[in-house]
Amino acid sequence: MAFKFLIVILTVVQLSQSIPSPNGIGSDLTLLINNDLLGPQSPSANSGVILLTTRSQRSAASACEKLGESLWAPELNTSSIQPTLDYLTFQGKYPQDQQYWIASSPSALRAIDGRGRISDSETLPWAYLPALCTQSAPFSNISAQDTSSKWQVAVHSNNDDITGFRDRLSFRFLGIRYAPQPKRFTYSTPYIGAKNNVSATSYGSQCIQSGTDGSEDCLFLNVWTPYLPAHGGDTRKPVMFWIHGGAFTGGTGNDPTFDGGNIASRGDVVMVAINYRLGSLGFLALDDGVTKGNYGLADIVNALDWVRNNIRDFGGDPDRITIFGQSAGAASVRALLASPKAKGKFAAAIPMSNLGGGGYGTTYSSWMTIDSEVSTTANPILTATNCSTASSKIDCLRAVPASKFPTLPATARYLVVDGTYLTTSELPLGSDAEGSLSKVHLLQGLMRDDGGAITSYIQTTNLSESITTDGFNTSVVVGSPNLFPIPEGSNATLNIFNVTARVATDTIFRCVDQAAAYAGVLNNVFAPNQYFYEFNRSYQTPGWDPNAPVCDAPITSTHPHGNPDQEYFKCHSGELYYVFGTILRMGYTLRDENDLPFEQFTLDSWTSFARTYDPNPDVGLLKARNYSNTIAEIEKSGTWAPLSNGERNGGMVRQLQWPNTSSTIASYIYSYFQEQYLDVSPTATILIMESVDLHSAPHAYTPSTICPQQISKEHVEPEHAELDTGAYEHGATQALGPALG
């Protein structure tokens, strides 16, 4: 028996030793490829190499072999690796005349320099040079990824040996545990490894949610990185920390929409995507003084702590973390900006389409008291589970099967003021703003028609009925026809929806997001140079496409997959494929000749912000990496200007379309108040904006009191107001309500 046990131990040790690791090889590992987001279709698909740190030729050949590769050779007839060599020179780590080991010729050792010149010399045997290995790992996609041992790589982190794998673009570590399964309705605690061999080649379980499988043991994260250091290394990449949306009731960091391979590869950053508890299991609060909710938010902070403690092992810099999220993920970013528990734990933030202001969006940015949450949500849950009269309500709820919670008539999905993770009802953006935010860099914005997917499509030709049914201020909308004129199109119900969608966008998104941006700049809340955008081009996710086909580019004879140059609603979630560069990886089609360059430009802008806190990529980097489409767009449309408190107009808003344009933020905000408050002067408008979230004046701006009434003629873009409704004559359907936040 003891002999068998010894054999098992030796087998495990040998298995762990057979998986290459940076420490075992004694070299940093860097994946480099000319990534144009075309994946296997790219003419540069086989241009990938693995860079090793300085060593002898024999050691270089041995290290490549341990990785299942060989030294790169020009005879392989791969795509040009010159952009890789140029990028290495641009980074400044190696001079342009630096030589790199490549495969030997039949007669001598060889090296290639930064200019692409190959040397074949008898003096090389004594040289110590960095080396270029081949990189033959296959591309992964939405349905397939090769995790076989040939492509696996191990990293020692958090006291465990963690095995991931590489595909053509990045090292992938999936399903890394950041917290043990917590007791229900308690805060999660950090997971500390126990010197285990841990597999990170498949996703961990998603959290319990409606309509899909899930588990309460779901606190996992995924890491994509182009770089793994050996023995600590001396290089660190910026980190992008993704928080998924889903109304705080659904979603997962495993969603292939958010795959981080292209962001890591093309953007040269480390990306992390996380799971956090959802719905009642993540946000239920009771009035017992103990069950205070915000457990999902606490999970996010716990994951952020894991990243700060361990991301160095995956090549990331814990002092250069950008948190970013969309919809409920953006609301989470906003909450982290306000949370004492997240103070000082990130350097930058990108909230994308944050909700607030009024109607359905109110509670995303104006956080409930526990008493309000109890009366609104907890009490109905207690009643539905027969726990309202239990001697211990919390113990009764813990006995309810986890899968039952998403099916209950009420769901706790609200951030609350718990006194620990959130201590204020809103993010302070005035004189009471948290001082540490002055070091946080900010990029934020929205979709032009975010509300087109959030509000319901009511089959009616009566504007009052549509506005009332969707819960907006009917008297303001209907009583001010000059603010939101009804388009004159052949589809009468779509004409009404056009108005309703614009009301929803302004009420739930534009008002709160632009007002927060303006106040942040005016009161110097954040680090200098904040940036704001509005997407006017979109690619709606087919898996979540309410009110189809109004959020989809119209199909024409020349564009069978949709023509983005025609008018359509640029809806909530329509930016995600562009940000992550995943259109083709998801198996979808480039609809026209501009989808690809716009996707490249968007990813380049987001990752530039993560690297430098400026969404304008360094032109030298773009030239080195041969990112010609992004170069051309910057030359054509100019650079993205930041918001400014030195100008009364607040600076520029970037219209993200093809090509890009810009306009002033004050031109939006002034029209809100000028139209609704009896010709308020520009000076008065500025004073109103200065009071954002201050609560210091009787009529200070708060999302719950002002935003529902902010209905602006400025926002009726002429081309949008005159939308060709005939394109959707037969397509509009009743939405299922606000399914995603």
Tens of pLDDT, residues 22-78:
999 999 999 999 999 999 999 999 999 999 999 999 999 999 999 999 999 999 989
- With a CB cutoff of 8 Å and minimum separation 6, the contacts of 410 are 377, 380, 381, 384
DSSP 8-state class, residue 551: T
pLDDT per position as a tens digit, 415-441: 999 999 999 999 999 888 888 899 999
Per-residue confidence (pLDDT) for residue 234, from 0 to 100: 80
Q: Using alpha carbons only, what angle is made at residue 267 by residues 117 and 320, rounded to the nearest 5 degrees?
A: 120
User: φ and ψ at 370, to 5 degrees?
Assistant: -65, -40
> In sequence order, which residues have a C-beta less than 8 Å from that of residue 614 and are 6 or more positions away?
529, 531, 608
pLDDT score recorded for residue 360 = 84
Q: What is the pLDDT of residue 663?
A: 74
Q: Average pLDDT, whole number, for the chain?
A: 87
Q: 7: pLDDT confidence band, cut at 50, 70 and 90? A: very low
Mean pLDDT, residues 354-383 taken together:
94
pLDDT at 235 over 80: yes
Please state the separation of Cα 89 from the chain's center in Å: 30
Rounded mean pLDDT of 139-146? 94
What CATH number has the domain spanning 23-134? 3.10.100
Which one of 2.60.40.3080, 3.40.50.1820, 3.40.50.970, 3.90.1150.10 gives the CATH number of domain 149-417? 3.40.50.1820
- Mean pLDDT calculated for residue range 208-222: 94
pLDDT at 229 over 70: yes
Given pLDDT bands bounded at 50, 70 and 90, which one contains residue 731? very low
pLDDT at 191: 97
Q: How far apart are CA 247 and CA 562, in angstroms?
A: 28
pLDDT digits (tens, 9 = 90+) for 247-274: 999 999 999 999 999 999 999 999 999 9
DSSP for 466-520, written as a single string:
HHHHTTS-HHHHHT-TTTSPPP--S-HHHHHHHHHHHHHHIIIIIHHHHHHHHHH
With CA atoms as reference, report the closest residue to 448 among 599, 656, 248, 247. 656
Q: What is the pTM of this model?
A: 0.90
Q: Cα 155 from chain centroid?
A: 25
Question: Residue 161: pLDDT above 70?
Answer: yes
The region of weakest confidence among 152-166, 497-511, 559-573, 705-719 is: 705-719
Residue 683 has pLDDT above 50, yes or no: no
Q: Look up residue 363 and give its two tokens.
A: 């509670």
What confidence tens digit (pLDDT) does each residue in 589-618 have?
999 999 999 999 999 999 999 999 999 999
Q: Model confidence over 480-533: pLDDT tens digits? A: 777 888 988 899 999 999 999 999 999 999 999 998 998 999 899 999 999 999
Q: How far apart are CA 549 and CA 491, in angstroms?
A: 13
Q: What is the pLDDT of residue 482?
A: 79
> What is the mean predicted confidence (pLDDT) over 563-587?
97
Residue from 501, 505, 463 nearest 710 by CA? 505
Residue 273 CA to chain centroid, in angstroms? 8
At 650-661, the pLDDT tens digits run 567 899 999 888
> 162 or 702, which is more confident?
162
| Contact present, 393 and 288 (Cβ < 8 Å) | yes
Residue 249, classed as helix, strand or coil, is coil
Residue ranges of domains in the chain: 23-134, 149-417, 450-728
Q: How far apart are CA 303 and CA 146, in angstroms?
A: 27
pLDDT in the model for residue 725: 32
Record the tokens describing residue 508, joined without a space.
């739930």
Mean pLDDT of 321-336: 98
What are the residue ranges of helices labelled H in 205-276? 261-267
Write down the residue that tokens 């952020």 correspond to: 304
Give the per-residue pLDDT at 333.
98
Kindly report the three-state secondary structure assignment for every residue of 689-708: HHCCCCCCCCCCCCCCCCHH
Interatomic CA distance for residues 486 and 494, integer angstroms: 10
Average pLDDT over residues 307-335: 98
Which residues are registered as beta bridge partners of 535? 447, 656
Question: How far apart, in whole angstroms, are the C-alpha atoms of residue 447 and residue 536?
Answer: 7
- Cβ pair 381, 408 in contact under 8 A: yes
Distances (CA, A) of 205 to 32, 176, 258, 549: 31, 11, 16, 32
pLDDT of 433 reads 84
d(CA 89, CA 620): 11
DSSP 8-state assignment for residue 145: -
Say which residue the tokens 């040289």 belong to: 127
Give CA–CA dist 223/274, Å, rounded. 9
